[in-house]
Amino acid sequence: MDGRDESFPTKDELEPVNPKQEREDLKNDAKEQVNTDDANNEGNQGDIRGVKASVRDSNMDYNAVTRFVAMKIFGLRKVADLKTLLWMFTYFASFVYMWVAHDRNSYIVRACGMVISAYFSFANAVIAHNSMHCAVFKSPVTTRVFQMFLSLTYGHPVSTFVPGHNLSHHKYTEHLQDPMRTSKLRWKSNFMNFLMFQPTVAGAVLKQDIRYFRLIRTRRPEIFTNCMCELFLVFAVQFSLLYLDWRKFMLYWQVCHFFGQYGIVTMNHLQHDGCDTAPPGDKINHNTSRNFVGPVINFFAFNNGYHAIHHLYPTLHWSETAEAHDRLIKPNNHPNLNCQCMFRYIWSAIISPGMRVTYLGEPHKFEFEEEPEDEDWMAEAGFYPSGKTALDYDLSLAIILKALSWHAFGSPLRAAYNLLAPEHLKVA
């Protein structure tokens, strides 16, 4: 420390710097802080340093003042996440306004407010997805606090992305260990396949999430604690809003959050249905995901349209996926998998003519005549203690209520008792 006030930039920090030198500094910083939360790294694949070397660091697209504000004041790893914070703030601002001004707003304003809140709930679902692959902040503490507030915008604990997405869908894409595989949908109408995807896979994902967090309760207590904090914050806010006004709760919270969750899961269906299925860990076949490369969808969905590069390198920051797609995916995948407009694709694939075909235009064929049950990736990964199986960690309603009651009341009471009790009367 040289004694200067580090809250303000120095003259050297404000003046232009050598881009080559700064690039090296940023790469070194990325090596030290690829992800501040171990949970975010689980299930991620790929040599992220290698792909980062092949694309321009998105931080270099901003001037020194903007970089200082984003990285030094806000503690962001990427300057582009100023947009993330703005979108998150806008969600909360719009929600509070629509709730407070509900009675004096016209039906048209209420409807427009619901549409805006629904979009920002979807956008924050994408942000939640991105942040669980690549941390937004450098500080682990700030990351955990951010995830708690992000859970409010998503309406669900964002830590659940780890088992339901990072560890299963990414590693076993479209295989039986993937609870979100598109082959579960066998409707003759492709519109029904599109419409029913989220309701079809949601139960299996939730069951897997609960089993995973029961398993890691003692093995990875920090991840378990993160999820419980997010869960109870979401529950507390939900019940408070429900108590204050159930109508506003349904309009501005429940409906909008359902749309956000429904939208991000359904987009996964669009990006994988009719694509190749490669062996787990394969990095040669670039035809396993459909990409929506238009500027509009990627502006509003934080580059979530560039899906193939995301599956190959999940920890690559969203602001760098467009260039990485152009360099690494576009020259190697089938051009039919690079769609300019997602809505145009939905119209042709889902509505008119609405035929379920592969990206080559051939009839969709399934590996199994009847869709098998999900296979347990946790058993393959060696998650279970000796002598235990998935049946030991599946939950009945009674067990769920008991666990929630204990964590809500029993655990805090025991902690308070141990704090106040004499040493020889403390309980383990």
How far apart CA 319 and CA 421 sit, in angstroms, is 53
Burial of 339 (0-12, 13-18, 19+ CB in 10 A): buried
Where in the chain are the domains?
11-370+388-394, 396-428
- Burial status of residue 335 (CB atoms within 10 A of its CB: 0-12, 13-18, 19 or more): exposed
Buried b (16+ CB within 10 A) or exposed e, 187-213: eeebeebbbbbbebbbebbebbbbbbb
If DSSP codes are grouped into helix, strand and coil, which group holds residue 338?
A: strand
Whole-angstrom Cα distance, residue 380 to residue 386?
A: 13
ω into residue 280 within 30 of 0, thus cis?
Answer: no
Question: Which residue has 């969808």 as its token pair?
Answer: 297
For 197-213, how does the pLDDT look when each residue is reduced to its tens digit (9 = 90+)? 999 999 889 888 888 88
Cα 129 to Cα 5: distance, rounded to the nearest angstrom? 36
Neighbouring CB atoms inside 10 A of 106's CB total 8
Q: What is the pLDDT of residue 9?
A: 33
Question: What local confidence, expressed as pLDDT, does residue 180 receive?
Answer: 95
Six token digits for residue 87? 């979108």
Burial 16-32 (b: 16+ CB within 10 A, else e): eeeeeebeeebeeebee
- Residues sharing a CB contact under 8 Å with residue 182, sequence separation 6 or more, in sequence order: 174, 193, 197, 269, 272, 273
Per-residue pLDDT at 396: 53
Calpha distance 212→341 (Å, rounded)? 37
pLDDT at 12: 38
Helix axes 255-272, 107-131, angle to 10 degrees: 50
Q: What is the pLDDT of residue 48?
A: 57
For the whole model, what pTM was predicted? 0.81
Cβ-contact 342, 294 below 8 angstroms: yes
What's the confidence (pLDDT) of residue 426?
A: 54
Counting Cα atoms < 13 Å in the Cβ hemisphere of 317 gives 23
Helical ranges in 134-254 per DSSP H? 140-154, 161, 190-219, 221-244, 246-248
Spatial CA neighbour of 280 closest among 170, 372, 165: 170
Question: CA 255, CA 251: separation in Å to the nearest integer?
Answer: 6
Nearest to 312 by CA among 123, 137, 126, 50: 50
In whole angstroms, what is the distance from residue 87 CA to residue 72 CA?
20
pLDDT in tens, 363-391: 988 988 899 999 988 887 777 887 777 76
Measuring CA to CA, how many Å separate 357 from each of 22, 191, 227, 234, 305?
A: 47, 13, 39, 40, 20
**Which residue type, as a one-letter code, is found at position 157?**
P
Q: Each residue's pLDDT tens digit in the chain (428 positions)?
A: 344 333 333 333 333 334 444 445 434 433 433 333 344 444 444 455 666 666 777 888 888 999 999 999 999 999 999 999 999 999 999 999 999 999 999 999 999 999 999 999 999 999 999 999 999 999 999 999 999 999 999 999 999 998 888 889 999 999 999 999 999 999 999 999 999 999 999 988 988 888 888 888 878 888 888 999 999 999 999 999 999 999 999 999 999 999 999 999 999 999 999 999 999 888 889 999 999 999 999 999 999 999 999 999 999 999 999 999 999 999 999 999 999 999 999 999 999 999 999 999 999 889 888 999 999 888 877 778 877 777 667 655 555 555 555 555 555 555 665 666 666 555 55
